[in-house]
Structure 1
Amino acid sequence: MNQIEQSGPIDCSSLKLGSRKSALAIIQAEIVRQLILKEYPELETKLVSVSTLGDQVQNKALFTFGGKSLWTKELEMLLLESVGGFDQIDMIVHSLKDMPTHLPDEFELGCIIEREDPRDALVVQDGLSYKSLADLPEGAVVGTSSVRRSAQLLKNFPHLKFKSVRGNLQTRLRKLDDPDSEYCCLLLAAAGLIRTGLQHRISMYLNDDVMYHSVGQGALGVEIRKGDQFMKNICEKIGHRTTTLRCLAERALLRYLEGGCSVPIGVSTIYSEDTKELTMNSLVVSCNGRDSVTESMTEVVTTEEQAEDFGERLAQKLIDQGAKRILDEINFNKIKEIKEEGLH
């Protein structure tokens, strides 16, 4: 068994992992727990699941009431102290795409876990034979609550309509398959479908030529108390280097552009272990899909600092091509109007 160096008055014999209460969140927390147990089999571990505001409010799109912080605040409180009937936790397992790029001063990103397929996926209503977005008929309704996805949908498939759909993965699929459903299909993260054993529902994986994925999509982020050496030592053992370099570059780009999960920024990254080269393709698109900027960059990247610098420089290239103007012109009331009406 690996030995964990202790720093401060911490119980080294047990560890509590926090997550949201959804089935997917618990599966993801269990992935991290198993990685820890592989390195430290004698360590007692426990999952603590909490319902966050983002889980509770299902009738509004995220951009209208707080964005990414909705998934993190309640859990972050438990990192600092016990609250109500919940014990203090030692780390939080997040979908990395839901983690703000600026964390509160008390916390830090301890590590990034190996990425599942980061692409978006098309899920067609049960019983329909469509296999791609291009196959869908004029006016077909696509379910998505993501501004990034809906903006690219308007850009690449103007013959389609879209409408917001909220809820956990199982809830969204039930809404899709309801006999009276208005949705022809949904756009979802492939990683969530794969992790929950629902990959058979994927009609098509959306590659770069159709849709750039979200920053951090498919990866898991572990949030810890800043300066907690006990947790840092564990994170060093379970983090995934290639995923970390890719995702730190993506998050640096997003942070530099001052964007959150509710702005239309998409990316795609590849890292070659042979050449140590990182390639990132990136997109900023207006919410109506009519104006967009794309940029790409490839460089040798071997450290986390180089990865973040890479992302920032690519972001500046996007700005030089007009990305900041697109982002500055975003009107969230207009986004709400577009998403509610499903304009096309």
Structure 2
Amino acid sequence: MKLSTATVLYPALYNCPTIVGGKELAPPWYESSSYTRQSRIMAESQSKGVVNVGTRKSPLALAQTQIVVDALKKNFPDHEFNIHSMTTTGDRDQNTALYNFGGKGLWTSQLEEKLVNKELDIVVHSLKDMPTVLPEGCVLGCVTSREDPRDTLVIKKELQDKHGWKTLADLPDGSIIGTSSVRRIAQLIRRYPTLKFKDHRGNIQTRLRKLEEDPDLTGIILAAAGLQRMDLGDRITQFLESDNGGILHAVGQGALGVECRADDEEVIRLLKTIENEQTALACEAERALMRALEGGCSVPIGVETKWVDDKLHMKATVVNLRGDHGVDSDITEPVKTHEEADKFGRKLANALVERGGGSILDEITRLRQVPETVK
């Protein structure tokens, strides 16, 4: 976001064309073939304290972006933060199960292209959607305060009223749960082998509507953070965690990550003022574990991270897609820096590998396994 000294001191020279022999030549900014007209406009807007914010178009993504923008506006009332939304690959295809998509970055890569091209200054993501390895030139500028990271069970209203069902343990054999997450499916099969699963995608409102309309579905699994941020927390029938339901959440779940360019010192300065240090360290440890295990949306890795007496405690699990074999481990250590968080996550990843987690992940990757679901 920083402009050159010449641009700041001589804005007229920067913006005006050069006249030679009666002909108008391109202004100085155009000398670089990679410096597009859009980039010039962006540079000019930034000099006036304008920050262009990228996000997906879903209601939840927009609500989360507004949280970040409001926090930045509070700290920098003289700046202008313009939100630019777009539909990503993951948004357009609502039918393909997540585990059938190739590669990563379904919700991030197109926004990152605009970031790299300087059409955007920052991009707000659900941190769980961000790949652990970012494009060259991009960094995780900050991580904001974390909402509840747990998964939840939402049971169809009709069945709640008729049978009084509230938890996974209440559900009869053969009940069908809607989710496209292999992490959720693998952990649920491990603990509730009589449940069945059906691919279930869409934004939160769409998923809740499908739950009530689809006669096959008994319930669905959704992140608590999304429901709470959309003021839909009253739909939750059970919070799921290691001691209740036996499900560990996704890496980064409940946290918002703000991505920016690595060389944009001014933007990074702005972002660091809204970072939550404990959330950032916990999520760095989770992402380090994921990075070491080379996992993504299609790999069944779950975590549960809490601060206990100024020490970080993390549980982690790797489960095969049949749910008949899983590996668990946990550690508790002081973590005060990002370097220590990275080391913490890698240490736990190594413990999982030594106990057989690496073999589980290798089998899934080698055989291109997908979970068994009903149509």
Structures share a fold, TM > 0.5?
A: yes
Provide the residue aligned with 1:85 in structure 2.
Answer: none
- Deviation, 1:28, is 0.5
Task: Check whether the contact 2:54–2:84 (CA below 8 A) recurs between aligned residues.
Answer: yes
The RMSD of aligned alpha carbons is: 1.6
Name which of structure 1's ranges 128-137 and 327-336 shifts more when overlaid on structure 2. Answer: 327-336
Match of 1:165 in 2: 200
The residue that corresponds to 1:131 in the other structure is 166
Matched with 2:267 is: 231
In 1, Cα distance between equivalents of 2:368 and 2:206? 27
What corresponds to 1:177 in structure 2? Answer: 212
Matched, 1:151 2:186: yes
Q: After the TM superposition, which of the residue ranges 244-253 and 327-336 deviates more from structure 2?
A: 327-336
Aligned mates of 1:217, 1:332 — CA distance in 2: 27
C-alpha separation between the residues in 2 aligned to 1:334 and 1:232? 39
Q: Report the AA paired with residue 76 of structure 2.
A: Y
Report 1 or 2 for greater relative contact order, CA contacts < 8 Å, sequence distance ≥ 6.
1
- Please state if 1:81 is matched with 2:120: no
Aligned residue pairs total 329
TM-score by length of 2: 0.85
Is 1:93 equivalent to 2:148 in the alignment? no
Q: Identity of counterpart residues, as a percentage?
A: 47
TM-score by length of 1: 0.92
The match for 2:241 is: 207
Task: Establish whether residue 243 from structure 1 lines up as the match of residue 259 from structure 2.
Answer: no
How far 1:67 sits from its partner (Å)? 4.8
CA–CA separation in structure 1 for the residues paired with 2:352 and 2:368: 23
SS of 2:302 mapped into structure 1:
strand
Structure 1 stretch displaced more, 313-322 or 59-68: 59-68
Asked if structure 2 preserves the Cα contact closer than 8 Å seen for 1:67 and 1:261, the reply is no
Other-structure match for 2:10:
none
Alpha-carbon deviation of 1:182?
A: 1.2
8 Å CA contact 1:149, 1:264 repeated in 2? yes
Give yes or no for contact 1:297–1:314 (8 Å, CA) kept in 2: yes
Judge conservation of contact 1:276–1:302 (CA < 8 Å) in 2: no
2:14 corresponds in structure 1 to none
Bigger mean CA deviation after superposition, 140-149 or 127-136: 127-136
- In the alignment, structure 1 segments of 5+ residues that lack a partner are 83-87
Q: Is the 8 A contact 1:67 1:262 kept in 2?
A: no
Aligned 8 A contact 2:99 2:180 in 1:
no
- Structure 1, residues 252-294: CA drift from partner, whole Å, max 9, x if none? 000001111210000001114xx42110000000011111000
Q: Which amino acid aligns with 1:201?
A: R
Specify the structure having the higher radius of gyration (Cα).
2
State the SS of the aligned residue for 1:215: coil
Task: Give the letter aligned to residue 215 of structure 2.
Answer: S
How far apart, in 2, do the equivalents of 1:147 and 1:14 lie? 41
User: Hey, what's the Cα distance between the residues in 1 that align with 2:202 and 2:366?
Assistant: 21
Instruction: Tell me what 2:359 maps to.
Output: 325
Counterpart secondary structure, 2:94: coil
